[in-house]
Structure 1
Amino acid sequence: MARPLVADIDLDALRHNYALARGLAGDSQALAVIKADAYGHGAVACARALESLPEGERPPAFAVACLEEAEALRLGGIESPIVLLEGIFEAAELARVEALGLWMAVHSEWQLQALLEHRPARPIPVWVKVDSGMHRLGFAPEQVESVWQRLAAVPEYATGLQLMSHFATADAVDAGYFETQLERMRDLAQRLKAPLCLANSPATLAWPQSHGSWVRPGVMLYGSDPLERPSEASRRLQPVMTLRSEIIALRDLAEGEPVGYAGRWRAPRPSRIAVVACGYGDGYDRHAVDGTPVLVAGRCTAIAGKVSMDMLTVDVTDIPEARIGSEVILWGRSRHGAVLSVDEVARHCDTISYTLLTGVLPRVPRRYHGMADPGTLVMNRT
C-alpha cells in the first residue's frame, strides 16, 4: 500500500478561477500565470486544462519566469503564446525564444541591446517592464520613452509592444502607493499610446481601474486569496490543491505528557494524539505552531507538537470517530465537504500561501481531477 499523502489537483476549480479572473477583467485580456510549475500544481497539466477550454474562454497566453519553464510547456504540447516575465538571462537564449515562438519582457539595458543586435527572422512580441515603484526589475520611468522608440524602430519588435509593471501594494487596504504607481503608468501609456499590463491577482480582484489591455492573474488561479481584506470576488475562489493524508497511528496520553521534538506541546488533559503521514520532508512548513488548523474526518482540529520530517501530530481528543486511515486535510477540500484555506494555514506558519503551495516537494504525488483523459497526465513531478 502506498503512503497516503497526495496532492489532489482539481482542474475544474482551476478553470472556475480563470473564468472568474476573465469575467473581472472586462475588456482586458487575461494572461494565465503558471510560473514555478503552476505554483506547485504542475504547469503542463494546468496549461492543458486551460488550453482545452472552448475558443473565447481559454487564455490568450500563458506566463512563466524563464526559458526553461517555457520549454517544458512546449515539450508538453502547449501551443499558446508564452510570455517570459523575466525575459532572457543571456543573449544566447534569444535563438530559443525565437524558435519556440515566445514573447518576452525586457527590463534592462543589456537585454534591450541584445534584442537590437539579434534581429530575428520573425516577430518577437516584447513587453517593456517599467519600475513604477516596486524597485526590483524594470526601466526607470524617465528611460522608457527612449527604450520604446528604439524597439518601435525595429519591425520585428514593433508589433506587439506592451508596457508592463508590477504593483507592490495592490493587496493592501491602503491604496495610496498603489495609486501612485498606477498614475505613473497611466501617464507613460498616454504619452506613448501604449497598451498596458499591470494587474496582478490582487489588482485583478480589487482594482478594475488598473486592468488595462491585459491582466495577469497568478495565485488567484489556484484558489488563494491574495487580498489583505477578502472581497466579494475573492470569496468566490475555489481551492485547486488539496493536500490530503491519513492517520497512521493513535496515542492516548495522560495529562502533562509531551509530544514530539523538544516536548513543545504537553497534553492539557487526558488526550488522544493522531500521527499523520506528512512532514517537512514533503514540504509542509516546519514553522507551523501548535494550533495550526487541520481537518480530521471533516472536523477542524489542530497540530500538537513540532512538525517532523515525515510526520506530524494532531490533537483528536474531541474527534472520537478518528481512527487509523481517517482522512486528514492539511489544506483544501475534505470529502466531507469542509474546506480549510491554505491562506489560513499560512497565517499560522507566519508565511504566505505562495510558499506553501510551491513548497510541496516532488515525493508527494499529484493526482489530477477534472480532465476528460486524466491518464495522459504525469502523476508525479520529477
Structure 2
Amino acid sequence: MPRPIAVHISTSALRHNLSKVQSTLQQQAQPLQRATPKVWAVIKANAYGHGIEPAVNGFDLADGLAMLDLAEIIQCRTLGWEKPLMLLEGFFSAEDLRLIDQHKITTVIHSQHQIDWLIQMASQLQHPVSVMAKLNTGMNRLGFAPDEFVNAFAQLQQLQQQGVIGELGKMTHFARADDDPSITYQQLQCFNQHTADLPGPISVCNSAGTLTASLQQHLTAQYDQWVRPGVCLYGSSPFAGVSAHELGLQPAQTLSAQIISVRNITAHQGVGYGHSFISPSPMRLGVVACGYADGYPRHAPSGTPVVVHGQRTQLVGRVSMDMLMVDLSSIPEAQVGSHVVLWGQNGPSVDEVAVAAGSIGYELLCAVAARVPRTVVE
C-alpha cells in the first residue's frame, strides 16, 4: 500500500468561506447605503496550495479570480472560467501582453516600465486591456509613489481614450490591516487623497481589510468596489487574535497521516534527532508518517498540537524528514494505523500549528509537498 499520508481539499469549504465573505460584505454595505463590493477570489500560489481546479470550482460564485501566473490564468480559462481574471503583479515583459489580450485578462500596472510596454505593444492588441493602476500607500513593495501616481494615471487615461485600455481602476495594498488599524487608516487617507477625483473602480481590501467593517466607513463613497480576499477563503484567519472558527470559516485543506510505530520509553529518555525532548516520565510514543519533506514545518517544537484517534495530543521531539513523534500516553486505544490529523478538519487549525512553529498559516498551506497524495472532496 502507499505511504499512509494524504491531503484532502474540500470544495464545499471553499464555497462556504466565499459565501461567508460575501454575506459579511453585504452586512457591512447596508448601513452605509452602498452597493455590496465585488470579490476577486485570490488563487495565487496554486490557490494557496489547494489547486487551481478545486479553486475554480469552489469559487464559482466569485466575481473574478486574481493570481500572479499567466499559466494558471490560462488554466482557469481552459477549465471554463469566463468571468474576469486579474494578474496581481501585472506582466513581466511586453510579450506577455499577447496572452493578456488573447485571454482578456485584467492586469495591475504598478510601474512606468509596464506603461512603456503597453505603449510599445498597443498596435498589436486586438482588444482593450482592463487595467488596475496601483498606488503605493505605505506597503513599499509595488505601486507608483504618491507623487508619481497622477501622472501615471493620466498616461493610462490617454491610452484609454485611444482604445488601448478598456476599464481603468485604482488599487493599493495594506501592510498592517491584520494588526494596526491606525496604519491602515493612514494608507486609506493617502489612497483617498490621490484617487478621489479619478474615475473607475477601486480595490483596496485584502482578507483582513475585507473582514474589518470599520474600514468601509473610511473609503471614498465609490459604488464600484472590488475586494481581494485570499487566505480567509481557505479557512485560515488573517488575524492573530481571532480564530478562523470565530470568523465562521471552515478549513479547506486537511493534512492527515497514520501511526506507523508505537513504543514505550522510560523517564529521562531523549526522543528524536538532537534529543531536543527528554521524557519527564514514562511515555508511550507514536511515530507518524509525516515529516518536513511532506511540508510539515521542521521547526515545530514539542507541544505543537496534533489530533490522534480523534483526541488532542502533542508533538514531541524534532520533526524528521519523513516522520514525527507524538505523545500517546493518554490515548491507550491509539495503535499502528490510527488516524492522525496534522491540521484541518477535525484537527488543530493550520493557524494553531503555524503559531506553535513561529510561522503563519499561509506558509503551511502553500508548503504541502507534491509527493503527498491529494484528494479533492465535496
Q: Normalising by structure 1, what TM-score?
A: 0.90
Deviation of the 1:234 alpha carbon: 5.2
Match of 1:125 in 2: 130
Match of 1:363 in 2: 371
After TM superposition, the structure 1 = structure 2 runs for residues 8-47 of structure 1, keeping only pairs within 5 Å, are 8-26=8-26, 27-47=36-56
- Rounded to whole Å, the distance in 2 between the matches of 1:239 and 1:364 is 18
Structure 1, residues 325-378: CA drift from partner, whole Å, max 9, x if none?
A: 1110100112xxxx41110100111010011000001011221111xxxxxxxx
After TM superposition, the structure 1 = structure 2 runs for residues 28-177 of structure 1, keeping only pairs within 5 Å, are 28-51=37-60, 58-119=61-122, 120-155=125-160, 156-172=163-179, 174-177=180-183
- Rounded to whole Å, the distance in 1 between the matches of 2:205 and 2:213 is 8
After TM superposition, the structure 1 = structure 2 runs for residues 1-382 of structure 1, keeping only pairs within 5 Å, are 1-26=1-26, 27-51=36-60, 58-119=61-122, 120-155=125-160, 156-172=163-179, 174-210=180-216, 213-230=225-242, 235-334=247-346, 339-370=347-378
- Rounded to whole Å, the distance in 2 between the matches of 1:258 and 1:86 is 48
Structure 1, residues 153-195: CA drift from partner, whole Å, max 9, x if none?
A: 22435432110110000000x3111100011111223121342
- Rounded to whole Å, the distance in 1 between the matches of 2:119 and 2:37 is 29
- Rounded to whole Å, the distance in 2 between the matches of 1:368 and 1:347 is 26
The one-letter code sitting in structure 2 at the alignment partner of 1:77 is G
Deviation of the 1:127 alpha carbon: 0.5
Q: Normalising by structure 2, what TM-score?
A: 0.91
Matched position secondary structure for 1:139: coil
Matched position secondary structure for 1:161: strand
- Rounded to whole Å, the distance in 2 between the matches of 1:203 and 1:327 is 37
Deviation of the 1:141 alpha carbon: 1.5
CA contact (8 A) 2:169 2:199 kept: no
CA contact (8 A) 2:178 2:239 kept: yes
Match of 1:54 in 2: none
Q: What is the RMSD of the two structures over their aligned residues, measured on CA atoms?
A: 1.6
CA contact (8 A) 2:9 2:54 kept: no
Indicate how the Cα distance of structure 1 residues 234 and 101 shifts in structure 2: closer, same or farther if over 3 A, else same: farther
Structure 2 gaps of 5+ residues are 27-35
Matched position secondary structure for 2:314: strand
Indicate how the Cα distance of structure 1 residues 36 and 298 shifts in structure 2: closer, same or farther if over 3 A, else same: same
The one-letter code sitting in structure 2 at the alignment partner of 1:189 is T
Deviation of the 1:78 alpha carbon: 2.9
Structure 1 gaps of 5+ residues are 52-57, 371-382
The one-letter code sitting in structure 1 at the alignment partner of 2:44 is K
The one-letter code sitting in structure 1 at the alignment partner of 2:59 is L
Deviation of the 1:134 alpha carbon: 0.1
- Rounded to whole Å, the distance in 2 between the matches of 1:19 and 1:333 is 19
- Rounded to whole Å, the distance in 1 between the matches of 2:328 and 2:267 is 14
CA contact (8 A) 2:265 2:282 kept: yes
Matched position secondary structure for 1:288: coil
- Rounded to whole Å, the distance in 2 between the matches of 1:252 and 1:325 is 17
CA contact (8 A) 1:116 1:151 kept: no
Structure 1, residues 9-45: CA drift from partner, whole Å, max 9, x if none?
A: 1111110100111122231001100000000000122
Indicate how the Cα distance of structure 1 residues 204 and 113 shifts in structure 2: closer, same or farther if over 3 A, else same: same
- Rounded to whole Å, the distance in 2 between the matches of 1:49 and 1:231 is 22
